[in-house]
Each structure stands twice: as C-alpha cells, then as structure tokens.
Chains A and B, each alone.
Chain A
C-alpha cells in the first residue's frame, strides 16, 4: 500500500498541517518541497510513492511539475491540490497524468487513500 508521501506546496503552514493530518493515520511524510525544482530533486532523492502538489507554485506550475514527475517516474502517484476553484481542475489534473484533484480544504487521510488506491 502506497504510504510514502512527498508534499509540494509554497505555503509552509499548509505543509505542516498536511503532514500532521496524514502522519496521524500512518502515512509517512518523506519530505517537503516549496517549488518545482525542489520537487524534482526530492522525487529523485527520496523515492516517494505519492506526491501531492499544489497547483499555484511559484515558477513552474503544479500541473507542469505533475507532468514532469510522471514523465520521469511513471509509477509515481500524483495528486493535484488547490485552494482555488476546483471545478476546472479535475480534467487538467488528469490530463497532466495525475490520479486526481483534491481541494486542499478536503485533505484527509481517507480522501487521499481513496484517490491513490486502485
């Protein structure tokens, strides 16, 4: 069961909250990144199973990062997140190779598990 998670978001507070919410339910947070470059380094170095990526990153957008990550490591599971309007993002997320889209406010262990399980 995929439980190693890399969190990619430019807001430190969110990374902290997400880590707390997931670690309590047995997820292992292998690392955090705050932009696309850091995310790519971290993916190669830490080999997570799941990467959760905020759409609104500085520089490379979250969707671009998702695509690059999936190109390099197709077995990785990517979940795209945002505080912004979710209605448009599901299609885009899937088109970028992600498993799905999750509004940040709905992040929970159960929600994440539902997305990454087969």
Chain B
C-alpha cells in the first residue's frame, strides 16, 4: 500500500479514537510521523487571544534525546505570520519543503535542528470548512529533496484532519454546554417545566419535583395541564396552545404573570410564571419558569395589615390626645378664666370675695398644669430620654394606682427604640392592670439584659383572662415586631397575667 494511503488510514483511525481535539491532533501527528518514519511532528494554531500569533498546540517526538529536546524548544515558541516554517505556511497557505533545516539560515530553529539531528522539514496547511485553521510541520532525520507526491498526500491529510478536529471541537463544546445546562436546571431554585407542542412534559427539574410533588420520571410524558394546571383552567390552557400552534399571536409568552397552579395532592397555590418558546428544529418546545409565591403573598398581606394598624394606631393616639386635652387641661383653663373674670368684676366692691376666687383660680391652674404634664409624659416621657429606663419605670411605679414594684433594671443605656418600646410595654401593662384587673394587689416588673436581648416582664396577681388581641397590646406587639422582638401574654383564668417581651439589643 502506498505511503499516502497508509498515512490517511492511520490519521483517520487516530482521530476516531481521540477523546478531544487536542488528543486528536497528537494521535494524528504520531500517525503521520510513524507512517513516514520521521522523528518529529508538530501542530500549530493561532492563539485564541491573538490570531496573528501561532502557538504550538500538539507535538509528537520519537523517544530519543534530540527530537525530545527540539520538541521542548518548539513548545515554547510563538511565531508571527511569515516567521519560521509554520509562519511561512500560515501566510502563504501553501506547503513548504526544506531540504535541510540544519543548514537553512532563515529558520529561527536552524541551530536547534542541527544539534537535535533533524534535517528534512515539511510544513503543510490544515484546512476545515472555515478555511486555513492551522499548520502541521514534520521533521526527518535525513536530508530529503522535495517530494511532490508526498506533499500532495500531506495536504490531503491536512484537509481531512482539519475537518475531523473541527467536528471534535464542536462536539466537545456542545457537550460542555449541555453539561452546564443540566447543572443549571438541577440547581435552579425555580421550577423549570418544559412541554412539547402536544402539551406533554419533556423536562421537570428537581425544584418542580419538590414543589408539585411528582417525580420527574412520573411527570415526563404526561400532559402538563393534567399535572399542574388547576382543573378549571385546563381547557383554557389547551385552547391557548392550540390557537398559538395554529398561527395565533402569542398571548402569554415572555411575560411574567401570576396564576394558580395545583399540586399532586390537589391543593392550589399562587405562582409567578414566565413561559418562553424554545426554537428547535421541528415543532416547538415551551419552557415555563414557575415560582411558588404563597409565602410572598402572605408576607405582603401581613405587611399591608401591619401598616394599616400602624396608621390607625397613630390616628387613635391623636384622638386620645385631643380628648384628654379637651376633657382635662382645657376644662381647667376654662375654670381659671371664669374665676379670674369673676375676681376682676368684684375686686373693688368685695376684695375678700375676689381673693377667694383668685385662690380657686390658682388651684385650678395647678391642676391644669398637672394634667398637661401627665399628658406630655404619655406622649413622650422626657425622663426616659434623659435618664434611661430605670428612672422612667420607677416613675410609672410611683404613679401606678395599683401597688407596683421594680425588681430589676439593666445598668447603662440601650438603643432609644428599645428603651422606648420597653417603657411603653410597662406603661400599657400597668394601665391594663388598673383598668381591667379587678382584685390586683401587686404588680411586679423585671427588666433584665442577657445574651444581646432585653427581657421585660410585668406580672400581676389578679384574675387573669386578659385578651392578647386587646387594642393596647396589639399596638405594642406591632411596635415590638418592628424591632424583631417578641411579645407574649400569658393569662390563664384565675392565674394572674404575665406580659413577657424580648427585644434584641446588640450588647
């Protein structure tokens, strides 16, 4: 068999058995070199980051010192078009035959060739559908005159090799891309469900398995509408798909919307959904990305309600202030005005009477001031801001109509929002005892700071049965939740009431 055929077969066999493009080159180089009994072959391609620079991508050397040393040197080189043997072929696109590389002064590697015992050198283009994609050079141990037949054979081999390597590369990159896609799907937090044009499931990722309660092997092949679309929406889904396939304009593709889905156990739940069409040869596929938004809806509702409560609490507080002012301090001042007027009217004729009226006025004025002070304290206790929790709570204890005792208080100041919340818990708790806890004889208050939290406990010895949703406590619960704290009311009937609040405060 002629060398040419032997070589072609060897190259084809070599590439077929290769694991990737690099391996294909190396095996092909070995096949070529061994077929010709030449000790060295190298493959060159342009660098990915600079197409004007050729780098050696694969090299095969016979197991001898000279060729191995030459190979080591060759691996380190990068050549420009026209430079060296590969560069010349790269620029011209034509093979080059050098009778004796050791004697060719134009070759950058002349000296190395001489010391390595390499003489004849042939370089030829590697071509694919894209055109010139690389260069292969081979070196022989003897001088050799140009052999046109061999050159022709090598060019053919170069063309085959180019196509084979290119195909290998495409497969490899497709494979890598598939691997990446699979990995993304497996790890995705959102459900990814793909169906074909008949509405049957072709893909059902792990998130979908978890969310809907089907294993993917049970879902694939089933009609998607039957699995995850609520019964009353199935017909509309099927009609929509049929209409779209018949040429109708897309109504639901590539937009995000909220809809209901159904689990394997029949429970419905809200999802956010986006559907996209996948362009593949043949009938289309559709992929839906679904997210269970049950939790989000719940949180939105809670937020809305909590905000409404906050606004209402503010309005209620203002109404209370207006009423307290009207019923309290304003009435006092009215009395003062009347008494002063009456005193003025009689001061000439009845100074003693006038003086008595002035005494009334002074008394009413003092009461009015006390009312205003009390009101201001209820709005914003200054002692809390200036002195901290302990003096402020001691003030509450002092003014409480039911006997109260402060058992413990933390030393040092805390963040203002925490002190404020704790103060109002105690104030509200004491108010509740006064208003609702018939038979209470003692209220005990404990404030302790531990593990980055402030614990507030108010305990009374009355009959229990307090309503934890009662207005004052509800407002407090919101205020405390806003600080990431907790409020618990323990009020067994007949057992007294304990209010327990915990507020995070970075220690």
CA distance A2 to B326 in the complex (A): 31
A92 close to chain B: CB less than 8 A? no
A41 close to chain B: CB less than 8 A? no
* Interface mask (A13-36 → B, CB under 8 Å = 1, otherwise 0): 110011011001100000000000
Contact (Cβ within 8 A) A17 B360: yes
How large, as a class, is the contact surface on chain A?
A: 10 to 19
CA distance A108 to B337 in the complex (A): 9
Contact (Cβ within 8 A) A106 B326: no
Question: Which of B331, B338, B360 lies in contact with A107, CB distance below 8 A?
Answer: B338
Contact (Cβ within 8 A) B345 A108: yes
* Interface mask (A80-118 → B, CB under 8 Å = 1, otherwise 0): 000100000000000000000000111111100000000
Contact (Cβ within 8 A) A83 B326: yes
- Evaluate whether A110 and B345 lie within 8 angstroms (CB atoms) in the complex, with A17-B339, A83-B334, A105-B337 already known: yes
Q: How far is the CB of B337 from chain A (nearest CB, A)?
A: 4
Q: Which residues of A contact B339 (CB under 8 A)?
A: 17, 20-21
Q: Which residues of A contact B345 (CB under 8 A)?
A: 25, 108-110
A-side interface mostly: helix
Q: Which residues of A contact B364 (CB under 8 A)?
A: 17
Q: How many residues of B contact A (CB 8 A)?
A: 19
Q: How far is the CB of A106 from chain B (nearest CB, A)?
A: 7
Q: How far is the CB of B414 from chain A (nearest CB, A)?
A: 41
Q: Which residue of A lies closest to B353 (CB)?
A: A24
* Interface mask (B224-267 → A, CB under 8 Å = 1, otherwise 0): 00000000000000000000000000000000000000000000
Question: Which of B327, B335, B342, B360 lies in contact with A109, CB distance below 8 A?
Answer: B342
B174 close to chain A: CB less than 8 A? no
Contact (Cβ within 8 A) B334 A21: no
- Evaluate whether A104 and B334 lie within 8 angstroms (CB atoms) in the complex, with A24-B342, A83-B326 already known: yes
Q: Which residue of A lies closest to B327 (CB)?
A: A11
B416 close to chain A: CB less than 8 A? no
Q: How far is the CB of A13 from chain B (nearest CB, A)?
A: 6
Contact (Cβ within 8 A) B338 A18: yes
Q: Which residues of A contact B486 (CB under 8 A)?
A: none
Contact (Cβ within 8 A) A108 B335: no
Question: Which of B334, B353, B357 lies in contact with A105, CB distance below 8 A?
Answer: B334
* Interface mask (B349-385 → A, CB under 8 Å = 1, otherwise 0): 0000100010010001000000000000000000000
Q: Which residues of A contact B333 (CB under 8 A)?
A: 105
CA distance A52 to B118 in the complex (A): 131
Contact (Cβ within 8 A) A13 B335: yes
Q: How far is the CB of A107 from chain B (nearest CB, A)?
A: 5
Contact (Cβ within 8 A) A21 B326: no
Q: Which residues of B contact A13 (CB under 8 A)?
A: 331-332, 335
B319 close to chain A: CB less than 8 A? no
Q: Which residues of B contact A21 (CB under 8 A)?
A: 338-339, 341-342, 357
Q: Which residue of B lies closest to A16 (CB)?
A: B335
Contact (Cβ within 8 A) B338 A83: no
Q: How far is the CB of A39 from chain B (nearest CB, A)?
A: 19
Contact (Cβ within 8 A) B341 A14: no
CA distance A83 to B325 in the complex (A): 11
Question: Which of A20, A25, A106 lies in contact with B337, CB distance below 8 A?
Answer: A106
Contact (Cβ within 8 A) A105 B331: no
- Residue among A13, A18, A25 with max Cβ neighbours from chain B (10 Å): A13
CA distance A107 to B339 in the complex (A): 9
Q: How far is the CB of B356 from chain A (nearest CB, A)?
A: 9
Contact (Cβ within 8 A) B338 A17: yes
**Residues of chain B from 22 to 59 with CB closer than 8 A to chain A in the complex:** none
Contact (Cβ within 8 A) A83 B330: yes
Question: Which of A11, A24, A25 lies in contact with B331, CB distance below 8 A?
Answer: A11
Q: How far is the CB of B383 from chain A (nearest CB, A)?
A: 29
- Residue among A13, A17, A25, A107 with max Cβ neighbours from chain B (10 Å): A17
CA distance A106 to B335 in the complex (A): 10
Q: Which residue of A lies closest to B326 (CB)?
A: A83
Q: Which residues of A contact B332 (CB under 8 A)?
A: 13
B399 close to chain A: CB less than 8 A? no
Contact (Cβ within 8 A) B342 A14: no
Contact (Cβ within 8 A) B353 A17: no
CA distance A111 to B342 in the complex (A): 10
Q: Which residues of B contact A20 (CB under 8 A)?
A: 339, 342, 357, 360
Kindly list 6 other residue pairs between chains A and B, CB separation below 8 angstroms, not including A21-B342, A106-B341: A14-B331, A17-B360, A20-B360, A25-B346, A105-B333, A105-B337
Top 5 nearest A-B pairs by Cβ distance? A105-B337, A17-B335, A108-B341, A21-B342, A104-B334
Q: 13 interchain pairs (CB within 8 A)?
A: A14-B335, A17-B335, A20-B339, A20-B360, A21-B339, A21-B357, A24-B353, A25-B345, A83-B326, A105-B338, A107-B341, A108-B341, A108-B345
- Interface residues of chain B, those whose CB is within 8 Å of chain A, are 326-327, 330-335, 337-339, 341-342, 345-346, 353, 357, 360, 364
